[in-house]
């Protein structure tokens, strides 16, 4: 597990990731994360299953290590919502979230609480990983600070909790994840630790 600094409310805080993201189909890249996005809904079931198994194996190993590393007794785990209204997605386009939920069920009683269903997106935003193909970015706005509050529903169950916010791929220049961290703090979270499976090492990454 690797560390990087994230700017939250004007201050630097330690955040975490496991794998360098160096571009789809490049050597050593975690392509299984791209597979799980299934943006066009046409990924085969067998490929989705393989990618799901890879993600689950990694999370089952990394999440307990992260809990120990940051010294918390318990973390309530939330996931960064996908860019569009949740109703726009088929079940097989939400496999990152579903896989995480399965892992948290397996880790139940080991210091993790699943609160990933306490937040979801109801208004579309542009899909930033399609910047090189703007015709696929969709409607809505590009990320800005406050976009989570403007486009997502948050239940009131974050009050006083130590949150672990998880995303698939972090890109420094996008600021979606920073905005989510700040929003959860504004919603009453006691603390928010950010973890991404992968972090970009190109085009505005680390």
According to the model, what pLDDT value does residue 205 have?
Answer: 47
Residue 205 lies in a domain: no
Q: 185: domain CATH number?
A: 3.40.50.2020
Count of structural domains within the chain: 1
Residues in the chain with pLDDT values less than 70: 130-137, 202-206
Contacts of 115 (CB under 8 A, 6+ apart): 76, 77, 78, 157, 158, 161, 163
According to the model, what pLDDT value does residue 132 have?
Answer: 63
Residue located via tokens 């698939």 = 168
DSSP run (H or E) holding 99: helix 95-106
Distances (CA, A) of 65 to 58, 124, 132, 144, 193: 11, 34, 36, 32, 14
* Predicted confidence (pLDDT) per residue in 152-200, tens digit: 999 888 999 999 999 999 998 889 999 999 999 999 999 999 999 999 9
Query: Whole-prediction pTM value?
Result: 0.93
Distances (CA, A) of 31 to 40, 55, 80, 108: 16, 11, 19, 28
Residue 206 lies in a domain: no
Residue 177 lies in a domain: yes
Domain of 72 in residue numbering reads as 2-200
Cα 155 from Cα 158, distance rounded (Å): 7
According to the model, what pLDDT value does residue 204 have?
Answer: 46
């Amino acid at each position: 597990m690797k560390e990087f600094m994230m700017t939250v409310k004007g201050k630097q805080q330690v955040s975490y990731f496991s794998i360098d993201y160096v571009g789809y189909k490049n050597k050593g890249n975690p392509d299984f994360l791209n597979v799980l996005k299934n943006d066009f809904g046409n990924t085969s079931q067998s490929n989705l299953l393989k990618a799901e198994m890879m993600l689950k194996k990694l999370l089952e190993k990394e999440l307990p290590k992260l809990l120990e590393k940051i010294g918390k007794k318990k973390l309530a785990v939330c996931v960064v919502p996908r860019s569009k209204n949740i109703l726009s997605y088929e079940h097989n386009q939400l496999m990152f979230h579903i896989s995480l939920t399965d892992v948290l069920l397996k880790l139940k009683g080991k210091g993790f609480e699943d609160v990933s269903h306490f937040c979801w997106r109801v208004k579309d935003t542009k899909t930033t990983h399609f910047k090189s193909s703007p015709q696929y970015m969709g409607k809505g706005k590009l990320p800005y600070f406050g976009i989570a509050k403007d486009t997502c529903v948050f239940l009131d169950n974050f009050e006083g909790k130590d949150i672990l916010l998880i995303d698939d791929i972090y890109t420094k220049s996008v600021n979606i994840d920073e905005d989510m961290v700040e929003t959860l703090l504004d919603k009453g979270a006691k603390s928010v630790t950010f973890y991404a499976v992968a972090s970009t090492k190109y085009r505005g990454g680390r």
